[in-house]
Chain A
Amino acid sequence: MESSALFMMILSKGIIAGFTFYFFGKMLSMPIKKQTQEEEHNYPRGG
């Protein structure tokens, strides 16, 4: 495999895998939010 192709492949996949794991990991590690009583129900139309 040519070095330019190898470089583009590793760089592209590395960047994308890095961001995916970072955001996905962060999302999974977030505590569950407590919703207020009002937020637990849909607002009436026009509200």
Chain B
Amino acid sequence: MSSNKESWGSRLGLVLAMAGNAVGFGNFLRFPVQAIQNGGGAFIVPYLVCFLLLGLPLLFVEWSMGRFGGQYGDHSTPFIFDRMGKSAIWKYIGVSGIFINIGVAAYYCYLESWTLGYLWYSVTGEFSGQTADGVNAVFTNYVGLSGNIPWVFWILCLAINTWILSRGLEGGVEVAAKVGMPLLIIFGIFLAIRALTITAGSDGAINDGLVGANFLWKPDFSTIWTPKVWLAAAGQIFFTLSVGWGMIHAYAAYIKPNDDVVLNSLSAGWTNEFVEVVLGASIVIPISVGYLGIDRVVELTQSGGLGLGFRTMPYLFQQWGTVLATLAGVAWFGLLFFAGITSSLAMGTPWMGFMRDEFNWSRNKTALSFAAIVFLLGLPTVVFYNQGVFDEFDYWVGTVGLVLAGLFEIILFSWVFGIEKGWAEIIRGADIRLPVFFKYVLKYVTPVIIILVFIGSLPDIYDNLVHKTLYEKIAKATNPTEIATLQTQMSYLNWSRMLLLGVFLGICYLVFLANKKRLKQNG
């Protein structure tokens, strides 16, 4: 029997921790870019439909699966899946709930450490008086590991995560969420007000902040019937709510058997949407368009939102004068740090739950082991960032892995465990009545949407698998040095895949050992 007897201290703490695990960098950097690339204001239609038919159902499923497992002392997906499935294979499919979190934490904690580093730079005036190229060079040097700062903040970030995890749910994760989430919202409101009140001609702005809001929200309804836009909306919902990871199961496994999951998941899910649509859509694009113009912003968003967040925003804040630039820098990178740490703590929880349940490890030992794994697995993403290893981890674990895990879990819940039992699990102890409409959505609609998302992603998955882009670059290259560099990059990517596969198999072996131990204990 597991000695893992942790629990949440309060309902508010639980919901804030769940909302915090969903709120991440994507709320501020990914959503606005997705919206402007997929119909502007019209994107909200497929986005909200996907939230209703994909996001909310998966939240209900993961919360109730977690609570179900927790009743039996299972606090991570391998043995939650095992208990709900009818075949031994489910425990190995459930390995995804630990593997994805470790794999993502490996590069996510590094990304999170950038926010700490940039927070430091903002306070110490590193960006003061810098040109746009100067701020850009700071980022290039940072990811090129120039100087000690990137290492110091990465280690510091891992140490903070380890310390909070070692304090447990109530004394660590819950406290972090109760402090981090309100601060994140306050920082977001401050930046959103400042962004939307930018006036053309003032502080070097070439447009009003509302021009940026107009650019983001102007609807192009002609695009919303294209599969690409629906695929983007479904993908955004998947990533923003952190479904398919196994984190929600792990958090929900510590709630009591008759506690509500319906109202809690609605509160946490809608809080994430509030941060994403109400705050996230009001910061980066209005500020960038205000100072750079629409054409430049369109160009910058081609490579995603990270560039805007770290290469562009610090420079734009400098236009507001020293004091406001420092405040804005602290608010922006502080907001991203809180968004990051509330997610990375959630990534550590499945490993904590698994090792404590199955091998009776202490909290300190488990938290330290998580940090050690994240450090070792994260090293290639840090050292070979410019060779694409970071993006390779993100693609296979943080993109493809999530969709596959989400597909397996909805099949397990609605078809293997059975929708009648599953529905009874969801509504047990519910504080509000959930329309029976969702029962049919869970059985038919959500699985079909995930299958369509997966099928729609297959061409991209194939191209990535065979390194199509790299081969095209090699074919076009004429310089032998460039060809050799690209070939070396390909070998780094192949090694990183092998490494991830090794970690997955390693966790499968731990599950095998744990299962053997359980069988022995049960006679």
Contacts and interface: CB of A to CB of B under 8 A. Distances in A.
Contacts of B365: none
A33 B429 contact: yes
B258 A33 contact: yes
A5 B260 contact: no
A12 B276 CA distance: 11
Bin the interface of chain B by size. 35 or more
Interface string B27-56: 000000000000011101000100000000
A13 B42 CA distance: 13
Contacts of B431: 26-27, 30
Contact of B219 (A5, A13, A27, A36): A5
B73 interface: yes
Nearest to A10: B217
A interface, by DSSP: helix, strand, loop or mixed? helix
B258 A39 contact: yes
Contacts of A6: 214, 217
Interface string A12-42: 1101110110011011101011011001101
B71 A4 contact: no
A24 B18 CA distance: 13
A12 B44 contact: yes
Contact of A24 (B42, B258, B270): B270
B522 A45 contact: yes
B219 A16 contact: no
A23 B266 contact: yes
Given A1-B213, A17-B278, A46-B522, A40 B256 contact: yes
Nearest to A29: B431
B215 to A, nearest CB: 8
A13 B270 contact: no
A34 B12 CA distance: 17
A20 B44 CA distance: 16
B422 to A, nearest CB: 19
Nearest to A44: B1
A42 B15 CA distance: 21
A13 B259 contact: no
Nearest to A39: B257
Choose among A4, A20, A35 the residue with the greatest number of B CB atoms under 10 Å from its CB.
A20
Interface in B1-42: 1-2, 5, 11-12, 15, 40-42
A29 to B, nearest CB: 10
B72 A46 contact: yes
B7 to A, nearest CB: 9
A20 B273 contact: yes
Nearest to A36: B258
Contacts of B281: 13
B214 A5 contact: yes
A45 B72 contact: yes
A32 to B, nearest CB: 7
Given A5-B219, A17-B278, A44-B72, 7 more contacts: A1-B210, A5-B217, A8-B44, A19-B273, A27-B15, A28-B12, A39-B256
Interface of B: 1-2, 5, 11-12, 15, 40-42, 44, 48, 70-74, 210-211, 213-214, 216-219, 256-260, 263-264, 266-267, 270-271, 273-274, 277-278, 281, 429, 431-432, 518, 522
Interface of A: 1-2, 4-6, 8-9, 12-13, 15-17, 19-20, 23-24, 26-28, 30, 32-33, 35-36, 39-40, 42-47
Question: Which 9 A-B pairs rank lowest in CB-CB distance, beginning with the nearest?
Answer: A8-B41, A5-B218, A5-B217, A20-B274, A9-B217, A20-B270, A27-B267, A23-B266, A42-B73
19 contacts: A2-B218, A5-B214, A6-B217, A8-B40, A8-B218, A12-B217, A13-B278, A16-B273, A19-B266, A19-B273, A23-B263, A23-B267, A24-B15, A26-B431, A27-B15, A33-B259, A35-B256, A36-B258, A42-B70
